[in-house]
Amino acid sequence: MEQLPGFNKLVRGRHGLFIANENDTFIGRALIHYGEYGELEWKLLQRFCEPGAVVVEVGANIGSHTVSLGTAVGASGKVIAVEPQPVIFQALCANLTLNCLTNVDAVNCGCGNRRQTLHLPRIDYAAEGNFGGVELRGHAATPSSIPVEIRKLDDLIAPCKMVNLLKVDVEGMESEVIESGSKAINAFRPVIYVENDRLQKSRMLIDLIRGMGYRIWWHVPPLFNPDNYFANDDNLYPHIGSFNMLCIHGNTVPDIEGLEEAVDSTYHPLANHPV
């Protein structure tokens, strides 16, 4: 671990080198304390990242999964990593550079069902906060706000001849992202791994993906991995998990233990079974 100027640290983690913000309460802090973030998510994702695969990650943040994805698909594969926050995007690009990942195209924008400009409030990254939890919607344009270009996912994917895995983590805009990529999704039928932690938006998201011919399984791993890279027993995230869905087109059933199929779109595990 090396302290860099200001709030960043250089972490030699399980999956490579990372610049991590010590003030970021989830991704940055986990990398610093455990040498990894979302490792139990990655154990599932890696099943769909064979060499040569094409992966699209919308909501890449600083690249805690992007680096793993890029490494797994190899030089013959490709990753498109989308991140709207300019400062977070800078860290993403730094982490890709630190790990010599030339097979990743990083794009500084958001995704939605139409081209537009949204605005982010100016964020103090030198103060404690959950920088991965910033929503794009709901902020007024002000003289100090940061304009963010919103592009359709189909437009970003257009140069690709195939997409094997689509990962979406966009703080409540998941349905809009899926809709904006419907042409590519219908053409390529990728495995979709999407966050679903907004109860009021869950049913719409499930019905949308199911309407595209997918079966859906809940994946709710805890944030803390007892077998973390730094062998740190201190659980900073007790009773906190990530609420995601694994979506596979057609009738294929994943050979993965512990997944519960989402057969009722009105059901959400967050309301019924706290982690």
Residue 17, domain member (yes or no) = no
Instruction: Say what the alpha-carbon torsion angle 195, 198, 204, 205 is, to the nearest 10 degrees.
Output: 0
Residue 24, domain member (yes or no) = no
| pLDDT at residue 138 in the model | 82
Residue 252, domain member (yes or no) = yes
What does the alpha-carbon distance between residue 259 and residue 275 come to, in Å, rounded to a whole number?
14
Give the count of domains, the chain.
1
Beta bridge partners, 147, equal: 119
What does the alpha-carbon distance between residue 202 and residue 206 come to, in Å, rounded to a whole number?
6
Which residue type does 109 have? C
Helix (H, G, I), strand (E, B) or coil at 114: coil
Residue 47, domain member (yes or no) = yes
What does the alpha-carbon distance between residue 144 and residue 203 come to, in Å, rounded to a whole number?
36
| pLDDT at residue 272 in the model | 64
Region of residue 69 (left: phi > 0; alpha: psi -120 to 50; beta: else) = alpha
Residue 30, domain member (yes or no) = no
What does the alpha-carbon distance between residue 259 and residue 66 come to, in Å, rounded to a whole number?
24
Q: How is residue 123 annotated by DSSP?
A: P
**E runs forming strands in 83-180:** 104-107, 110-111, 116-120, 146-151, 165-168
Rg over alpha carbons for the chain, rounded to the nearest Å, is: 18
What does the alpha-carbon distance between residue 68 and residue 57 come to, in Å, rounded to a whole number?
12
Which residue type does 92 have? L
Beta bridge partners, 256, equal: none
- What is the CATH number for 163? 3.40.50.150
Residue 1, domain member (yes or no) = no
pTM of the model: 0.96
Structure tokens at 129: 């906060």
Its domain, for residue 87, covers 37-272
Residue 197, domain member (yes or no) = yes
Low-confidence ranges of the chain (pLDDT < 70): 272-275
pLDDT digits (tens, 9 = 90+) for 212-269: 999 999 999 999 999 999 999 999 999 999 999 999 999 999 999 889 999 999 999 9
Residue 27, domain member (yes or no) = no
| pLDDT at residue 104 in the model | 98
Structure tokens at 29: 């802090």
